[in-house]
Amino acid sequence: MNIIIDMRKALAIDIGGTNTRLAVVNEFFEIEQCVIKPTVCDDKDKFMQNIIDGIHELKLEGVESIGAGVPGVVNREKGVILDLPNVHVKDIKFAEILKKETGLETHLRNDAEVACIAEAYSPKAKKYSRVFFITISTGLGGAFCVDKVIQDYVTEVGHTVSNFDGYFEEFSIITGSKFPIFAKHFGEPGLTPKIMFEKARQKDKKYQQITDKWLQILNKFVRLMIDSYQPELIVFTGGFMKDKDMFFPQIKKAHKDVKIRETYFGTNAGLIGAGLYALNSK
């Protein structure tokens, strides 16, 4: 006799600056179907039509709601995208448009927030009530969960202001899009993170010093997040983790009072978190 388990499912949408991923995610953190479409920039109508086209490529049988994570600022209550700076679209009635298209309620949050939700539910987080999520890539983002519930007052933590030798916003210059500002301070306006790490690996003293300064700034950011939110677990992800050998061991060593590890769900954290957010929202 076969026993059929009726699992709850959500349509998850993870919008990135390069690609938009759409998937059917079930309550056991499994991605049952997935479609990847290049993100359309600069035109909000075409941006939305691209997402709608992706939805129609999926089988939505059994899907009860939609969850979406987006790289920017949203009005969660109204389901409106206010601004996606890297995609160059704004003022989109996201939930309203998708409700008309699918008949499903849509729950919208920042992409770091939904990824944090996924990590808070992961098997590696079972012992921890307070989970902080940090992504270091094109931008510096973060979010905070307490007992698997995202905390609304944590927004755009990467924009935290602190003087960098009296000139720069310390925490917005150490990542991809703002890295040239950091590099210019050392007389290296064309420097990229890849070059910095490669030359530091080659024992070039100048670039080892630049890397040390970058790490010093990142450590200050991590310490500020620890002091501000008192997490028990910090999860790291993002493009910079490709060079984790250059900084991640030092980060963990500098903050032994908190458990620090890499993301459990990897690049799927945003999708899984968007699905879980939808399934756990009223």
Three-state DSSP state, 71: coil
| Cα distance between residue 255 and residue 234, in whole Å | 10
Provide the residue type at 79 as one letter.
G
The secondary element (H helix, E strand) that includes residue 34 is: strand 31-38
The secondary element (H helix, E strand) that includes residue 6 is: none
Same domain, yes or no: 158 and 42: no
Three-state DSSP state, 210: helix
Q: What is the domain extent for residue 31?
A: 9-116+268-279
Residue 187 in domain: yes
| Per-position pLDDT tens, the chain of length 282 | 444 457 899 999 999 988 999 999 999 999 999 999 999 999 999 999 999 999 999 999 999 999 999 988 899 999 999 999 889 999 999 999 999 999 999 999 999 999 999 999 999 999 999 999 999 987 788 899 999 999 976 456 766 666 666 656 676 778 887 888 889 888 998 899 999 999 999 999 999 999 999 999 999 999 999 999 999 999 999 989 999 999 999 999 999 999 999 999 999 999 999 999 999 997
| Cα distance between residue 224 and residue 172, in whole Å | 14
pTM for this predicted structure: 0.89
Same domain, yes or no: 235 and 275: no
CATH, residue 273: 3.30.420.40
Same domain, yes or no: 144 and 228: yes
Same domain, yes or no: 139 and 226: yes
Same domain, yes or no: 67 and 144: no
Same domain, yes or no: 145 and 227: yes
The total of structural domains in the chain comes to 2
| Cα distance between residue 147 and residue 246, in whole Å | 32
Same domain, yes or no: 37 and 166: no
pLDDT given for residue 137 in this prediction: 85
Same domain, yes or no: 246 and 217: yes
Same domain, yes or no: 243 and 144: yes
Beta bridge partners of 134: 142, 236
